[in-house]
Structure formats: structure tokens, C-alpha cells
Chain A
Amino acid sequence: MTKKAGRRSLVTLTTAALALSLLAGCGGNNNGGNSANGANSGEGGNAGTPAATESASTAAPAETGIDTSKKVELQFYMLGDAPKDLPIIQDEINKMAQEELNATVKFNYTSWTDWDQKYKLLLSSGQAIDLIFTADWTQYQSYAKRGAFLAIDDLLPKAAPELQKFVPESMWEDVKVDGKIYTVPATYKEYVTNGFVYREDLRKKYNLPVPKDLASYEAYMDGIVANEPDLMPMSLNSDIGNNLHYIYTELNKMVGALPYGMGVKYESPTTVYSYWGSDEQKEELKTMKRWADKGFIPKNVLNIKDTMQDPITSGKAASMFGDNPTRYNDMKMKISTTHPEWELAYSPFGLTTGYATPVHPIHNGFAIPKSSKNPERALAFYEKLVLDKRYNLLTQYGIEGKNYTVENGYYKLVGTSTSNGFSREGMNGWAWRNPEYMLFDQGFDGVKAIFDELDKIQKPDLFLGFAEDYSSYQAEKAVLEQVEKQYLFPLQAGLVEDIDKGLDTFLQKAKQAGLEKIQAEWTKQWNAYVAEKGIK
């Protein structure tokens, strides 16, 4: 009898535990990573305060530098995939850093798969990180605003005085968020504005117009469809927003990739209007519908997961609506080795719009997260990475003679990109490029030519310095983004038969999500920004 009772309560207990675990499991998943947060952010705070107090004394010349008596390991985080030879490079770097800074560094990479989530997790889980890549496309401004990074204004003169002098004052000014510096900007000047990428050999063969604006681009694609029915006229994937919509608006002189259907033209940055529902948007949707009907946009475009560039380099697509000069050049180089008979050409939007904006300093940078245990050493190390030629060349190009050689001042890869364990800028070191040490591939002369051309019409980027604070409409924002995906993307991809009706549905759903509140708040913040920076 006793045995039976024991077994039964055992069964009851285990099943109860199991059942409850179902409930607990869900909660657990979301919070597993956070428990460490409290402890770490506390330490981050502590690490920040001594620096702040010490800085008071550094008002006097701070030649003393930083305290390097304790050996530390710096955690360095970069996006993308690590090069094969990274361990070798890391060892080399550590030999020098050990001696000069009494520190070693561990280079960590997120890989490109789901990098955005990993990035967000890295910052919000409170994991100890000393240096992390920042860019406008990783939401530097909003993270800085919400306090994810350490303000380095006071740290700079102490830990990296040379670096502070090296980066122009105007750039430090540009990366400021709420009056504080949170990232070290890259000083290399480049353009990441878009331009039409197209197969020149096909254009010549069928005597098609050079894509210069929407009309000529459309005519070019018409010709491709008529003559090369097996070829996709343009490369596209499911990211309609970035690959169709924002490129279209860039051609239409929007000040940048504006969210929430806001409209601000480059010529009139103080005038904010609602792009959604405007005639201008209807024109865009009509164009896309026409393109879809003509077969430029594949019917299942929303399910295509390819990268944008692969179909071009593999010869499946004839053109790209827009890409930046550097990426265009990469494709061109790739094709020149695999299919020398193909020819790729480029016509930058700047020639149509009449201006081009060089990259904003926010576009590439490195910040010290709040969770960092060694902010001083991290900054000192970063200074080495940028300014010390040995560190810089090693992390940008690998080991000379083994990974690359220099011929007539040009960079030359040893072997091929697959056999070589460290290709040019293999560590994705865009942020610590130093224009004085930079080596270029001979093929890059093409990009330089484009840059020179764009230099003639350059105008400053007005948009990237704007740090949006969405904390007051976070819920609305999350909902709106879903509404966009569900109702706007199909419209922007030309998949909806009745544009007016589709647009009405979308606008109605967007209003329901709180569009008006978001737009009002955004407009307020934009106006404040424009006034603060004195943009007219």
C-alpha cells in the first residue's frame, strides 16, 4: 500500500513540475540573458565614475596617461565574419599590445546572419564588451541616446590624446548625441550614395539608353526584357523597403531614409510633410505597379532571400536599381575574373539629383559600451589601431608578404580571396581606416574616379546627425513597422492590383497603429534638430 501511494504522489509531482515548466519555459527564454545585466551595468557605472572624477584633474596637462599596471583582456566586437587568419593576426597584435599597453585583445565577430539581433543582445544583455562597432545602420544615435554607450569626452584627452587631435574637430562635433561624444568616427572620406549598376555589354549589344534617371532606367529594363527573356532585368530580394523604396526616394532627393512615411526634401530641410498618402507616393506606387506588370519585379519577390549582389555577379540579373560605388566596384572586380566578357557600368544618382553627400562621420565608428570594464585601456588600444602603422596595416591587410604585397603603391592580394586567409580589410575594419596608411587595389581607381566626380557636387549629409528618441512612441513604432510590412511592402513591390484601395487600407491600419502620434513627435524632434544645427 505504501509503495503505491509513494508512486502516485511521485507521478503527481513530476507531472506538475513538467506542466509548470511549460509555463516557466517561456518566461525563461526571454530572460535567460538578462539576469547578468544588473550586476554588470552596475560595474559599468562604477567604471565610468572614476574616469569622470579623474577628468576634473586632467584639466591640467594630462601627460601621465593611463594606469596600465593591471593586465587586462579587451573584448572587441565587430560585425560580420572573421577572416580565416584572424588568430594569427590577433597573436601578432597581442604581442605588441601586451608590451605597450599591458593588455591583450580578443576580436569577436557576430557573423552576418541575424547580426542585428546579436548586436542588440550584446548591448542590452550587459555582457562585458570594451569596444563595439557603431554606424547609422546599427542605430548608433538611438543607442547613444538611450545610454548604451559610455560618453568618452573626458576619457579622450587622457587615454587617447593623439586620436583626439587626429580626428577633426568638426567630426567630433558631428557624432555628438545630446552634446556628448559616444563614438570614435572614421576619418576616411567616401561616398555610400547609390547609383544604377547595369550590364554595359548588354546595353551596347541591344543599343539601349544609359540608365540616368527613372525613365531611362525603365527603358533599359524594357530592352533587357525584350531581348534577354531569361535574364532578370533587376536584382531584388524581400527587403523591398531598402532596395526599392528608399532608392526611389533617394532619386527623388529625400534628405535620407526617413521612417514613418515622413517626407523632408534636401532643398527644404525645414519643411516636414507626410509622404504617405501624398501624390508623390502614389506616383511611386504606380511606377512600381507598372514595373511589376512589365515583369521587372518578380511576383514572389517577397520570398526571395538572395543577396542583392549575387544575381549580378552570377549573371542572373542585368541591373541593380541602386548600390554604392565601393560595392559596385567589388562586383565589377569579381566579374572581371569569372566572366571577363561581361561588362558592368555605373551611373551615380548624384549626376541626376545634382548633389552627393559624402559619408557622415556616424557611418563608421567604434564605441565603448557601458558594460566595459576597461574603458581607458580600450580607448588607448583603439588609438593604436588607428594611428600606429604596425597595428593598422596588420589589422587591415594582414601580414605583408604572406597575405599581401605592395606593388607601385597598390595593394596586391597574394593568391586568391579563397586561398588567402586575410583579404583586403578582412577584419571589416572600416571604422579604423586611416587615410594616411590606406592601400588600394589597382581596381579601386575606378571608385576613386567616381568619388572625384562626386566631390565636385558634394553637399553635407543633413540627416544622419539626427538622433531620434522613440521612447515615447515605442509601442506605436513596433506596431507600425508590422503594418508596413503587411500592407505597404506589397504595394511598394507592385503586387497589389488596386493601388488606391490598397493605400487606403494601409493608411487606415497605420492610423490605427498610432501613425499621427509618431509623425507629430518625429516632426517635433526633427524641427528641434534642424534649429539646433542651424540648418536652413
Chain B
Amino acid sequence: MRQRTRKTGTPLAIELPVQGGGPAASPLGAGTIKKKKKGFLHELIHNRVLFLMLLPTLLFFLVNSYFPMVGVYYAFTQFDFNSGLFDAPFVGFKNFEFLWKSGTLVKLTLNTIGYNLAFILLGNVLAIVCAILLSELRVKWFKKLTQSIMFLPYFVSFVILSVIVYNVFNYDSGFLNTLLARFGAGPVDVYNKPLVWIFLIILFYLWKNLGYSMVIYLAAITGISDEYYEAAKIDGAHIFQRIWYITVPMLKSTFVVLLLFSLGSIMKGQFDLFYQLIGNNGVLYNTTDILDTYVFRSLKVTFDIGMATAAGLYQSLFGFILIMTVNYIIRKINDDYALF
């Protein structure tokens, strides 16, 4: 139903009066905007119960997300113990200086986006593959067992992960080097090799999160009606064809929604992961420093609310622009998949 109405491609504003059931018979033209307003008011009254149910959510976001946005002003002021928010001296973009002064902003942004893209794409693709494989399994206990085993790492905290990683890779007594020595090979100084960590970080991210995102796709697959598969079977489609022509296309919308959600936080990275695994090891920063860790480290030493807010604002703004752009592109390609 929803698909059909939307596929006409006409803008929302024009459609509304028609659907609202109002006096919509008038032809399109200058009156559209006026009607849209009337339509919304009409709808507000018409669906008051639904709107009332929405109210708590709206309030929640208003209080927790919109009101605090006033604090964005801190990004442009010099924090002072003697004054409040609005009488603090205004300093313009001075608080943003520390971000680009180092010349690392570009590197940090690229690192952040690069890692997140790898996380999002690899994570989703692998999750889809695993979900499909699992869903095709017929032995129930094995399916459940595999699923649980894959899900378990999700509960391992990054602090514990960092201890595990340290014990595997530490030079003098790590598992890896002990093993290598057993086979007569020389030790590897992993903590001094920045490039290796690109793979390690992505690997550990996937290890930890694969099970979780797989469950989402597994649920989506369960939602696909068996009738499709039965019909395909009767038509003689073999298993790969069934997967490729039925399961994968049906997962597309889930994928796009998850993609859009994760894109919004693309500038934030996985702070815990990077901070715990890399910590204070400056040798690895060139390939492993992301905005979050950089900002955290800088402001841990020089704690300044103005600078912290400035960094947060930069991240938010970048994320906002990104999600708007991607959503726009997706809407252009296929209206149905866009978030809004």
C-alpha cells in the first residue's frame, strides 16, 4: 500500500489533502501550500490519540537532545569559573583552533571515516553472509549453538579485550611470540608496527559485533514468507538462486536502514575499542588515531569546556551533513529506502 502511493513520485505535500480525505478535489497550483497547513491541522485533530501517544517520545528528545543544544554556544566562548554560559567572553572560532593547528585534522577525519566505513560495510556484509548461512542450516541445536557462540563476544567489554590483546601480542611474554619461539621463529614486535593495527582493529571489531548484527538480519530473514521459497523451489531454483533472488533483495531495506543509522555516528568511531587497544602508544597513532581518541586525550590534559564542545560540534555537524547527503542520494535512487 505504502509503496504504491509513494511510487507516483509526487511530493508529499500534494498528496496529503487527498489522503486526508479533505476537500481535495481542487486542482494543483498556488493553493497547495495553504492546503498543506490545513491538512496538518486537520490530521492533528483527526489522529489526536496517536499524537498523544507520540508525545512522551517527543518530550524525551526535546529535554534530552534539543534543550542541551543551547550548550553549543560554549564552543564559541572562553570558559571562565566566574561567569555563566551567556556572559562568558565570546571568542569566535578560537576553540576550534586546536583541531586544525596540529595539521592532523584531515588525518584524523580520514582515519575515523575509513575505519567506520570498514566497520559498517564489512560488518554488514559479513553479518548478511553469516545470517544467510545460519538460516539455511536445518539442524536446530547446531544453529542455536553457533548463534550463541557468535553472540558471546558482544558481551566482552573492551577493557577485557585490551587485556586479552595485550597478552597475545606483548613482545616479551605474549602468546604469539611464545608460539613463534616454539616453532623456532623470531619474535614479532606487533606494538611497534602501525600498519598491522589497521587489520587488528577491524578484526576485533568484527569479532565483537558480528554476532549482534547477524541476529538483526536473521530476524529479517525469518520474516520472509516461506511461500516465496516454495514457489521458487517448484520453479526449479536451486539454493544459490533462491538466496540471490529472494533473500538478498528482501534484506536490502534492512541493510539500508542500518547503514543510515550507522552513518550518522560515522564521526564518532568506536572510542572504547581504540582507546583500550592503543591507549598511550604514540607509535601507532598515525594509523589508529581517530577524532574521539584525539579529542579525549587532548582534553584530558587541558580540560576546557569550550574546546570539548567545539570538538563535539565539529563531529556532530560533520555527521549531520553526512547523513543528510547519503539520505538524499538514497532518496534519489529509491524513494522507499530513504529514512526521511
| Residues of chain A at the chain B interface (Cβ within 8 Å) | 1-2, 4-6, 8-10, 12-17, 19-32, 34-35, 37-39, 41-42, 45, 116-117, 120-121, 123-124, 146-148, 238-239, 298-300, 302-303, 305, 370, 470-471, 474-479, 481-483, 485-490, 495, 509, 512-514
The answer to the question of B152 belonging to the interface, with a C-beta cut-off of 8 Å to chain A, is: no
Interface residue ranges of B152-196 to A (CB < 8 Å)? 166, 169-172, 189, 191-192
Quick check: A302 and B1 within 8 Å, CB to CB?
Answer: no
Specify which of A25, A38, A513 lies most central, judged by the most chain B CB atoms within 10 Å of its CB: A25
In the complex, which range does the number of interface residues on chain B fall in? Answer: 35 or more
Q: Are A4 and B50 in contact (CB under 8 A)?
A: no
Q: Is the CB of A34 within 8 A of B313?
A: no
Residues of A within 8 A of B83 (CB): 41
**A512 & B103 in contact (Cβ 8 Å cutoff):** yes
Decide yes or no whether B5 CB sits under 8 A from chain A: yes
User: B312 within 8 Å of A by Cβ?
Assistant: yes
- Neighbouring B residues of A299 by C-beta, 8 Å: 171-172, 189, 191-192
A4 to B5, CA, bound (A): 10
B65 and A475 within 8 A (CB) = no
How far in angstroms is the closest Cβ of chain A from B43?
7
B340 within 8 A of A: yes
In the complex formed, the residue of A with least CB distance to B298 is A478
Distance from A32 Cβ to chain B, minimum over Cβ atoms (Å): 6
Give the shortest distance, in Å, between A289 (CB) and chain B (any CB).
Answer: 14
Complex CA gap A29/B315 in Å reads 12
A303 B19 Cβ-Cβ under 8 A: no
Bound state CA distance, A234 and B268, in angstroms? 38
Query: Which residues on A sit within 8 Å (CB–CB) of B264?
Result: 19, 22-23
- A51 to chain B: closest CB distance in Å? 16
Q: Would you call B26 an interface residue if the criterion is a C-beta within 8 Å of the partner chain's C-beta atoms? A: no
If A19-B264, A370-B81, A479-B101 touch, whether A6 touches B43 (CB-CB below 8 Å) is yes
In the assembled complex, the Cα of A512 lies from the Cα of B105 at a distance in Å of 13
The 12 sampled A-B contact pairs (Cβ below 8 Å) are A5-B43, A6-B46, A9-B43, A17-B57, A22-B265, A22-B319, A23-B319, A298-B172, A300-B171, A300-B189, A302-B282, A477-B302
Q: Is B303 an interface residue, CB under 8 A from the partner?
A: yes
How far apart are B9's CB and chain A's nearest CB, in angstroms?
15
Known: A6-B50, A302-B280, A303-B166. Contact between A34 and B74, CB under 8 A? yes
Pair A124/B79 contact, Cβ less than 8 Å: yes
Instruction: Indicate whether B114 reaches chain A with its CB closer than 8 angstroms.
Output: no
Q: When A and B form their complex, which 3 residue pairs have the shortest distance between CB atoms, in order from nearest?
A: A31-B71, A38-B84, A24-B65
- Contact partners of A39 in chain B: CB under 8 A: 84
Given contacts A6-B50, A34-B305, A299-B171, 5 further A-B contacts (CB under 8 A): A6-B46, A27-B69, A28-B65, A474-B302, A475-B95
A31 near B302: Cβ-Cβ < 8 Å: no
A370 to B192, CA, bound (A): 46
Question: Of the candidates B16, B72, B169, B286, which one forms a contact with A27 in the assembled complex, judged by CB atoms under 8 Å apart?
Answer: B72
Expressed in whole angstroms, the Cα–Cα distance for A17 and B62 within the complex equals 9
Q: Please state if B339 and A19 are interface contacts (CB–CB under 8 Å).
A: yes
Q: Which of B85, B98, B171, B281 contacts A478 (CB 8 A)?
A: B98
Cα distance A262–B315 when bound, in Å?
A: 34
Q: Is the CB of B319 within 8 A of A26?
A: yes
Q: Is the CB of A26 within 8 A of B74?
A: no
| Chain B residues in 8 Å Cβ range of A16 | 340
**Residue from A28, A121, A476, A487 in contact with B282 in the complex, judged by beta carbons closer than 8 Å:** A487
Tell me the nearest residue of chain A to B314, going by C-beta: A26
Which residues of A are found within 8 Å of B283, using beta-carbon distances? 302, 490, 495
Q: How far is the CB of B95 from chain A (nearest CB, A)?
A: 8
- Quick one: which of B192, B282, B301, B305 contacts A486, CB cutoff 8 A? B282
Decide: B297 and A24 in contact? CB cutoff 8 A: no
Contacts of A32 in B (CB 8 A): 68
Is there contact, CB below 8 Å, between A481 and B285? no
Closest to B103 in A: A512
Chain B residues contacting A476 (CB-CB under 8 Å) are 98, 101
Residues of A within 8 A of B281 (CB): 238, 300, 302-303
In the bound complex, residues from chain A placing their C-beta under 8 Å from that of B72 are 27, 31
| B286 cross-chain contacts in A, Cβ below 8 A | 486
Q: Mark B313-325, 1 if CB is under 8 A from A, else 0.
A: 1011101100100
Complex CA–CA separation, A104 to B20 (angstroms)? 65
The closest CB in chain A to the CB of B65 belongs to A24
B64 touches A28 (CB 8 A): yes
Complexed CA–CA distance, A21 and B265 (Å): 11
Tell me which of A10, A14, A28, A483 contacts B68 (CB under 8 A).
A28
Verify A31–B74 contact, CB threshold 8 A. yes
Closest CB in chain A relative to B63 CB, distance in Å: 10
A302 touches B297 (CB 8 A): no
Instruction: Flag if B301 contacts A481 (CB, 8 Å).
Output: yes
Contacts of A35 in B (CB 8 A): 68, 71, 85
List the A side residues contacting B340 at CB < 8 Å. Answer: 12, 15-16, 19
Which residues of B have CB within 8 Å of A19? 264, 323, 327, 339-340
Q: Are B307 and A14 in contact (CB under 8 A)?
A: no
Contacts of B279 in A (CB 8 A): 238, 302-303, 305
Complex interface residues of chain B between 41 and 84 (CB less than 8 A to chain A): 43, 46-47, 50, 54, 57-58, 61, 64-66, 68-72, 74, 78-84
**A26–B101 CB distance below 8 A:** no
Beta-carbon contact of B172 and A25 below 8 Å: no
A17 CA / B340 CA spacing, docked (Å): 10
* Complex: chain A residue closest to B169, CB-CB: A300
Most A-side CB within 10 Å, residue of B57, B104, B302, B319 = B302
How distant is the Cα of A505 from the Cα of B7 in the complex, in angstroms? 59
Nearest-neighbour CB distance to chain B for A78, whole angstroms, equals 19
Contacts of A146 in B (CB 8 A): 80-81
> Which residues of chain A have C-beta atoms less than 8 A from B339's C-beta?
15, 19
Interface status of B10 (Cβ within 8 A of chain A): no
Complex CA–CA separation, A27 to B317 (angstroms): 10
Residues A38 and B101 in contact in the complex (CB < 8 Å), given A147-B80, A303-B280, A487-B282: no
Within 8 A of A (CB), among B277-297: 279-283, 285-286, 289, 294, 297
Say yes or no for B94: interface residue by CB 8 A criterion.
Answer: yes
Residues of B contacting A483 in the complex (Cβ-Cβ under 8 angstroms): 102
Contact A34 B85 (CB under 8 A): yes
* Residue on B nearest A484 in the bound complex, by CB: B282
Q: Is B272 located at the chain interface by the 8 A CB criterion?
A: no
Which chain B residues lie closer than 8 Å to A12 at the CB level? 340
In the bound complex, residues from chain A placing their C-beta under 8 Å from that of B302 are 470, 474, 477-478, 481
- Nearest Cβ on chain B to A424's Cβ, whole angstroms: 31
